[in-house]
């Protein structure tokens, strides 16, 4: 259900472009207005959501850690897995954000005959995930050639390393191949593994189809339809100088690619893709385990109205005396 819905949602997006650009000739709408609207939705949406998250108090450290916490000097503490210092937290966060360490420790559990429960290391998701994210990053960096003039050296270096094998012309980028492979893998694992298929929703399939569609249209553009890159850069430079021009004769596949990217940008802040910002706010990763070493005051504490014994005695002193109860003050 989720698969078909997501698939046809992406197909519908592509049809919209064909109707809008080829049918109704709305080049300016699809080339300038929609990308801008999507870009603004992307930035404002992410900032808004992160602010909302920032307003949620973290009442206490959540030490779900994989190591010995700092205690006596003669007990060896795990400085990164169970950090008590800001540096340790920074290292743990860096490992999480850059290397997906939690995912690396992913385990597979199986119930075998016996009955016996067995666990095994399972790195495939980590491998697919890291291949996907890093190739996506390099592809993004490569695309920056369309947004800077003159093109900075670092982008050229990324591009030449990416095309290192010099296969064909235009040279095949390693990232293009790995990226499409990784997206396919991440999709297939949801379809093939029954448990994963059971928990997968349209919100899981849709980004995969969308990103896969972006990858496929990008590959078609570069290797097969040979879109007019000079024209495209005139368009993109027009955006960033706020003097948009829509050059004639850009192939429809570019508008499909651009509209799918715009959809991704606009969809981003309201989707699970927000883990891009969310990973930095993971309470089990970004808080030092100083639960015992330091005093943590509940952030929503307010001055509680109390009624002390002295006040109680003031209220009932006469009754207490007449009942023969001892009082502290006469």
Partner 1 sequence: MYNGGKIVIGLLIFVGLVISPFLLKGDKATAKPDPKVDTPEILKMPVGERTCVEDKEYMKAEHMKMLNEWRDWVVRDGLNIYTSKAGKEYTMSLQNTCMKCHSNKSKFCDECHNYVGVKPYCWDCHIAPKEEG
**Residue 91 CA: distances (Å) to CA of 94, 106, 136, 226, 276:** 5, 20, 24, 44, 18
228 binds partner 1 per the rule CB under 8 A: yes
CB of 303 to partner 1, least distance (A): 20
* Least distance from partner 1 to the Cβ atom of residue 213, Å: 22
Stretch of 113-121, 122-130, 161-169, 315-323 lying at the interface with partner 1 (CB under 8 A): 161-169
117: which strand partners?
111
Tell me which residues in 51-70 interact with partner 1 (CB under 8 A): 51, 54-58
Contacts of 291 (CB under 8 A, 6+ apart): 60, 61, 63
Q: Among residues 23, 66, 170, 278, which is the contact residue for partner 1, using CB under 8 A? A: 170
Region near partner 1 per CB under 8 A, out of 26-34, 155-163, 207-215, 290-298: 155-163
Strand partners, 111: 117
Count of other CB atoms within 10 angstroms of residue 262: 21
Q: Is 282 near partner 1 (CB under 8 A)?
A: no
* Alpha-carbon gap, residue 15 to 22, rounded angstroms: 10
- The answer to whether the beta carbons of residues 239 and 32 sit under 8 Å apart is yes
- Other CB atoms within 10 Å distance of the CB of residue 256: 24
CA distances (Å), 267 to each of 39, 55, 61, 136, 194, in order? 11, 23, 32, 17, 27
Query: Could you tell me the smallest distance in angstroms from the CB atom of residue 276 to partner 1?
Result: 9
Applying CB under 8 A, does 105 fall inside the site for partner 1?
no
Binding mask 290-309 for partner 1 (x = CB under 8 A): ---------x----------
Residue (19 or 167) nearer to partner 1, CB: 167
Q: Is the CB of 51 or the CB of 74 nearer to partner 1?
A: 51
Joined tokens for residue 41: 């939705």
- Does residue 275 touch partner 1 according to CB under 8 A? no
Q: Which residues bind partner 1 (CB under 8 A)?
A: 42-43, 46-47, 50-51, 54-58, 144-151, 155-156, 159-160, 166, 168-171, 226, 228-230, 233-234, 237-238, 240-241, 243, 277, 280-281, 299
């Amino acid at each position: 259900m989720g698969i078909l819905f997501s698939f046809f949602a992406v197909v519908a997006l592509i049809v919209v472009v064909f109707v809008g650009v080829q049918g109704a000739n709305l080049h300016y709408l699809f080339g300038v207005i929609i990308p801008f609207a999507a870009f603004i939705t992307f930035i404002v949406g992410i900032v808004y959501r992160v602010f909302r998250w920032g307003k949620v108090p973290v009442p206490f450290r959540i030490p779900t850690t994989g190591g010995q916490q700092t205690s006596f000097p003669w007990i060896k503490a795990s400085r990164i897995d169970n950090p008590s210092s800001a540096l340790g937290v920074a290292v743990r966060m860096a490992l999480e954000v850059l290397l997906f360490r939690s995912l690396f420790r992913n385990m597979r559990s199986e119930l075998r005959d016996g009955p016996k429960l067995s666990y095994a290391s399972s790195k495939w998701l980590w491998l697919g995930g890291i291949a996907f994210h890093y190739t996506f990053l390099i592809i993004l960096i490569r695309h920056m050639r369309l947004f800077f003039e003159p093109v900075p050296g670092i982008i050229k270096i990324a591009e030449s390393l990416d095309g290192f094998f010099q296969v064909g012309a235009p040279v095949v980028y390693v990232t293009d191949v790995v990226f499409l492979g990784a997206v396919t893998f991440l999709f297939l694992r949801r379809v093939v593994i029954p448990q994963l298929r059971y928990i997968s929703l349209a919100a899981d399939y849709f980004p995969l189809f969308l990103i896969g569609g972006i990858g496929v249209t990008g590959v078609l553009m570069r290797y097969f339809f040979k879109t007019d890159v000079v024209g495209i850069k005139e368009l993109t430079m027009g955006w960033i100088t706020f003097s948009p021009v829509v050059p004639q004769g850009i192939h429809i596949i570019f508008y499909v690619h651009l509209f799918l990217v715009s959809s991704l940008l606009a969809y981003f802040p309201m989707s699970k893709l927000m883990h891009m910002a969310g990973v930095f706010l993971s309470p089990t990763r970004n808080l030092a385990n100083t639960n015992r070493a330091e005093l943590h005051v509940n952030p929503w504490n307010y001055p509680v109205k109390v009624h002390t014994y002295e006040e109680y005695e003031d209220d009932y002193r006469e009754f207490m005396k007449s009942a023969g109860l001892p009082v502290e003050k006469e």
